[in-house]
Amino acid sequence: MQARSHLLGMMLMLIVLALPGWAQAQETSDSRSQGLYRLPASSDIIGHVKIVEAAAKDTLIDIGLRHGVGFEAMQRANPDVDAWVPGKGTEVRVPTRFILPPGPHKGIVINLAELRLYYYPPVEEGETPRVETFPIGIGRQGWQTPLGKTTVTMTIKDPAWYPPESIIEERAEDGKKLPRVVPPGPDNPLGEYAMMLDIPGYLIHGTNQPRGVGMRVSHGCIRMLPRDIEYLATRVPNGTQVRIIDEPVKFGWDAAGTLFAQLYPVQHGGEKSVDIPSRSHAMKRLHDTVKQPPRFLIDFGRLEALRMDPDGIPTSLLLTGLPFPMPEPPQTFFTRTHLSKTFYNRIDASLQD
């Protein structure tokens, strides 16, 4: 009897595991399924845009961080949705489709323009190449994150923070006294992990303020969500190459050979800190991507619309209609003859004179 009960229990468990709903629930409950992709062999694009319904107390930050997307990206993708009170049942677009950044698929690539980090982990021979992507927070105006190539030199668990003199002075101007050393714990802005870079004073680290990930709020370092930095820092070996770029215009091909574009606002210092990508830069990037005439017409009108209003969503540039309004076709000779009988009668009369 006990053996029969055990057998029935095992059969029931197998049936439950086979149900699609159960498998989906297990997959979506795993936070590490966010941002992990196989590296496509014949495409430059990963992921898919998601449409989700907001809960009553959701903000765009809450929805985005649940899906591995930062605040600025969520705002761009949902310009007509209230960022703080989307409203229960409101459909929200989650921009989880990405064109891979230009350059080698190696090590860590940080694209400041899209506030995103890409990691191409090393694989053994015969293994499927992978790419992992995560939202980041970067330096605000006046504290820009530097560009260039560097390497990971060391990973630290539970780092202490030694604030530089410039930050101590900045806090003092706001009436706040900052200690020379902030020990590990909830008040430490580095979080639980930090990866030191071969650039003095700059780190890739966690945070004690996760809602700031996906924004330009740091003093130049690269912030990550606590779950993301723990996952990354425990797997990235010392000596890994880190390439920091600032590329607001990305082009890439899908598996069918269609060209896509993904554009972001340009961020820089000065009075006008946010701008649109220049037309010359967009055309140069297009020329670099399309090295020979494509098999289809490129929709330059759509590209110009993306440039003027960059939303960070990969968009097809396949021309499917008229690129611009066309004038009415000219009338034929015979049509004009019927419409201008009097004119031609006058010609005939003049010939008879």
Q: Which of 67, 219, 221, 268 is catalytic?
A: 221
> Could you say which DSSP state residue 309 is in?
S
Dihedral angle computed from the Cα positions of residues 168, 173, 175 and 178, in that order, rounded to the nearest 10 degrees: 0
Closest by CA position to 78, among listed 316, 307, 313: 313
Q: Which of 6, 48, 205, 287 is catalytic?
A: 205
For 28-94, give the DSSP string: HH-GGGTTEEE--SS-SEEE--EEEEPPTT--HHHHHHHTT--HHHHHHH-TTS-SS---TT-EEEE
Is 67 an active-site residue?
no
Residue 79 amino acid letter = P
Is 221 an active-site residue?
yes
User: What's the half-sphere exposure (Cβ side, CA atoms, 13 Å) at 179?
Assistant: 8
Those residues with Cβ within 8 angstroms of residue 145's Cβ, 6 or more apart along the chain or in another chain: 110, 112, 138, 139, 202, 218, 220, 221, 222, 244
User: What span, in angstroms and rounded, lies between the C-alpha atoms of 248 and 265?
Assistant: 6
Tell me which residues are annotated as active site: 205, 221
